[in-house]
Structure 1
Amino acid sequence: MPLTPYLRGSVWWVKGWIEWNGRPVAGPYRKSTRATSETGAWDWIKEETELQLRKCLMGEERALRFVDAIELYKPTPKIARQLLPVLDEIGDRLLSEITGKLLKTLGPKLRPNASTDTWWREIVTPARAVINNAHELKGTPLLRVRRYDQFERNAQDRRRNRQSRIERVPGNREWIEAFCHAADPYNAAMARFMFETAARIDQAISIVPADLRPEERKVRIKAQKGHPACWVTVSTEMMAELLALPPKRPRNRRTGTIMAPRVFGYGSSTGYNTRWRTICRRAGIPYLSAHAAGRHGFFTELVVRQGVDPVTAAHAGRWSDPNLPMSIYAHPETDEAAIRARFRTDPVQTARSNDGNVLK
């Protein structure tokens, strides 16, 4: 019997088989369409029939569309929002037809005023993850995508009249001390903590009293960016500063509910911005984000200013590959004018005899 919809409570279900030339190719079905109208149920039957016939005629690995691959994927709410415009654009495309070049062309169409880094992060990466998840589960083609190169990035920056990848200014000891002198105890401790441990802002604001082990001078930092949660050792002074802070219960800005007590008193990773700008104005120093002051400052302080080898610094900052922080988080601090002046200085001439030997 071909697929037939029937009402069960307030939701339409289907029963029967999907047939091709009088021969059943999929079924038997007895499942919900999740539709509350008969029209919606027939739409479900049409889509399911097309999918199963493609599987029958082409093989499952070549029959899946992007929209089918999303059904196999379990995105976070943030990734799901990023995938919605991509789904509208290529949802009906077969996975075998989607190429890296196609994904890269979605950026100018969906986010014309964004940078190539944003295109890569919010369009290409989540779409590629959906496709390669289907490859692991169903054997569909694996997709590799080449990153936008510097010529594509520069061309997009000219079109939108805005530069991307602006060089960050890392924090240093003088900035941290000036900031802490003008700040309240909570923000001062948080700035010092991130500068000392290379913790990300979301990791710092998530610390609760149970994450402190005073006897061992350890602080638990939550998992993030593919790295597991871990305990980091802090200085004696840092631990004393953390223990002196009475935990605060921040308010959730979206729901209005009172959250569990936190060491630094913030409930979100963006809540610090306004306060930090005020502190920087009061201290007479340029504003630095928590990421620039802490994580960038940490690596530059160790490698550039103190000469610690990059492997040791990367391990201390929880980078798995030292090449990454060397290319992003290490900022040169040489005076460019001093470098240019070297070319104006007469080099020391080595005295030689007529026969070319060096004179002693």
Structure 2
Amino acid sequence: MPGYRQSHVPYAVRHRDNHQFRTTGADRMPKLYKRKGGDVWQYEFTVDGRRTRRSAETADRRLAEDIAIKHEAAERRAVVHGQEAVLEFRHAVALYADDGRDLRFTVKLLDHFGKRLIKDITGPEIRKAAKILYPDAIPATWNRQVVTPMRAIINHAADAKGLTKISVKRFREEKKSRPAGSKEWIEAFCKTAKKMDMPETAAIARFMFETATRVSEACRLKWDDVNLQLGTAFLEKTKTTPRKVFLTRAMVIDLANIRSSHPYLVFAAANRSTVKKRVDKVIEKAGLTRLTSHEFGRHGFATEMIVRNDVDVATTADHGGWKSRRLLIETYVEGDANREVIDRVFGKKERR
């Protein structure tokens, strides 16, 4: 343009092409580029000496520019004012997801709290949201689907970003008495299952009852995780943390009897549906009280330990893999794990 010096044209405009976008100096902006053979724009920028690279997840260049600029601006605000000034709930959910955490109840939570800053979300607001999101639910549902996941997501982000954790008062729940498995129930079940030529079903029922293993965890158990000689099994993929469990003599015998039949999965069950069908079939044949896998397994374990044998909560939690001892106290009652307590509670009594 006549009479118009090139220096008046912003650097970003003068150095633009179809593949990347760079700016420097006072007009510095995020760099946009495409990977070789790709259609989606990528961007990178440096704030306070830390470089960030992300995908804009769009082939639209103008939209990618907008996403990159907003991201960089947020990072700069965080440097100046602290993470709490920019960390939104949706960012906390993304951190939670990146860590492989449970996202079952997050859709409604995201819709409600999405762009709210974490620092502005309070316990009373979370309790109020529970009633709004699930108006016809009971307190147990509000706790399970709102209070617990909100607290977990926010505190996970707080750990990651060095922020203050949140405390949320749970709704008071009415305790309901539910049936629990017992040694007598398990023995009758196993006896019937073996008569029906279903030794794997007998073994998995005993295993869940004596180790507090969830049905999904039992289904994943491989022979590589079992040491019959030492009488132990290692649960690698659990809801909380991996743990070692001790096997009673009866459990070792049950496992030894099915060892040669199934070379990979210990109980030859792909999922909980398979286990349920087998268990229901045995229960009907034996004429036993109908129990779910949780009732005769994890709930039965805790009841047998705490209620029927007065084992302390700490030991029960260690053996059963409970992350929260408070849950056990609230449910079953108003050390270190060792083999002896398992043999004492679940093993056969020695005759004098």
The alpha carbon displacement at 1:115 in A equals: 3.5
Give 1:145's aligned residue.
Answer: 168
**Are residues 1:79 and 2:92 paired?**
no
Q: Compared with structure 1, are the counterparts of its residues 213 and 37 closer, same or farther at alpha carbon in structure 2 (3 Å cutoff)?
A: same
Which residue pairs with 1:208 in the alignment? 222
Residue 279 of structure 1 deviates from its aligned partner by 1.9
Root-mean-square deviation (Å): 3.7
Alpha-carbon distance change, 291 to 330 in structure 1, aligned in 2, over 3 angstroms: farther
1:229 is matched with 243
Which residue of 159, 183, 186 corresponds with 1:176?
A: 186
What SS does the aligned partner of 1:67 have? helix
1:289 partner amino acid: T
| Residues 36 and 281 (structure 1), Cα distance of their counterparts in 2 relative to 1, 3 Å cut | same
| 3-state SS, counterpart of residue 230 of structure 1 | strand
CA deviations over 1:277-313 (Å, ceiling 9, x no partner): 2221222222111221133333433454455566665
Whole-Å separation in 2 of the counterparts to 1:197 and 1:15 = 50
Structure 2, unaligned runs of 5 or more: 1-26, 335-352
CA deviation vs aligned residue, 1:71-123 (integer Å, no higher than 9, x gap): 44445666234323222221111122111122222223333344333332333
- Mark the runs of 5 or more structure 1 residues left unpaired by the alignment: 19-24, 155-164, 250-259, 332-360
The reply to whether residue 167 of structure 1 matches residue 177 of structure 2 is: yes
Alignment match of 2:287 (pick from 278, 284, 287): 284
Q: Summarize the Cα distance change of 1:31–1:196 in structure 2 as closer, same or farther, 3 Å threshold.
A: closer
Q: Please give the TM-score of this superposition, normalised by the length of structure 1.
A: 0.68
Which of 201, 204, 223 in structure 2 is aligned with 1:190? Answer: 204
Q: Classify 1:85/1:56 alpha carbon distance in 2 versus 1 (closer, same or farther; 3 Å).
A: same
Deviations 1:26-67 (A, max 9, x none): 999886423122353244146436635754774443232222
Instruction: Quote how far apart the aligned CAs of 1:208 are.
Output: 1.6
Is the Cα contact below 8 Å between 1:221 and 1:232 reproduced in 2?
no
Structure 1 residues 290, 225: closer, same or farther in 2, change over 3 A?
same
1:12 maps to which of 35, 41, 46: 41
The aligned length equals 301
CA shift digits 1:161-199 (9 cap, x unpaired): xxxx53221112332233223322111122222333333
CA contact (8 A) 2:88 2:116 kept: yes
Q: What is aligned with 1:275? A: 278
Distance in 2 between the 1:126 and 1:14 partners?
32
**Corresponding residue of 1:238:** 251
Greater CA drift, 101-110 or 77-86 = 77-86
Supply the AA of the counterpart residue of 2:222. V
How many Å separate the matches in 2 of 1:15 and 1:239? Answer: 57
Q: 1:13 to 1:220 in 2, by over 3 A?
A: closer
Counterpart for residue 268 of structure 2: 265
Q: Is the alpha carbon distance of 1:221 and 1:145 closer, same or farther for their aligned partners in structure 2, counting shifts above 3 Å?
A: same
Q: Answer yes or no: is the 8 Å Cα contact 2:313–2:329 preserved in 1.
A: yes
| 2:151 corresponds to | 128
Give the percent of matched residue pairs that are identical in Structure 1 and Structure 2. 31
Matches within 5 A, 1:46-125: 47-48=70-71, 51-52=74-75, 54-55=77-78, 58-75=81-98, 79-125=102-148
How far, CA to CA, are the matches of 2:293 and 2:54 in structure 1?
51
**Distance across 2 between alignment mates of 1:242 and 1:30:** 51
SS at match of 2:57: strand
Q: How much does 1:245 deviate?
A: 0.7
